[in-house]
Structure 1
Amino acid sequence: MGRILVGLISGTLFGAGLAVSGMLDPVRVRGFLDLFGTWDPTLAFVMGGAMIPMAIAWIVQRSQRAPLADDRFHLPDTSTITAPLIGGSALFGIGWGLGGLCPGPALAAFAIAPDKAAIFTAAMVAGFAAAWFVQRSRTAVTTR
Structure 2
Amino acid sequence: MRLVISLLSGALFGAGLYLSGMTDTTKVQGWLDVFGQWDPTLAFVMGGAILPMAVAWQLTRGRRPLSGGTFPTPARPEIDRRLVIGSTLFGMGWGLAGLCPGPAIASLTFGGLPGLVFAAFMIGGMLLAPGLKARLDRAVPAE
Same fold (TM over 0.5): yes
CA distance in 2, matches of 1:77, 1:35: 30
What stretches of structure 1 move > 3 A for 4+ residues in a row?
A: 76-79, 136-142
CA distance in 1, matches of 2:68, 2:138: 32
CA distance in 2, matches of 1:35, 1:79: 27
Residues 76, 130 of structure 1: alpha-carbon distance in 2 compared, 3 angstrom cutoff: farther
Q: Is 2:46 the partner of 1:42?
A: no
CA distance in 2, matches of 1:108, 1:13: 11
Residues 33, 140 of structure 1: alpha-carbon distance in 2 compared, 3 angstrom cutoff: closer
Name structure 1 gaps, 5 residues minimum: none
Match of 1:129 in 2: 127
Q: CA deviation at 1:112?
A: 1.7
CA RMSD in angstroms comes to 1.9
Name structure 2 gaps, 5 residues minimum: none
Matches within 5 A, 1:86-101: 86-101=84-99
Match of 2:68 in 1: 70
Match of 1:31 in 2: 30
Using the size of structure 1 for normalisation, the TM-score is: 0.88
Q: What is the aligned length? A: 140
Using the size of structure 2 for normalisation, the TM-score is: 0.88
Secondary structure at 1:50 match in 2 = helix
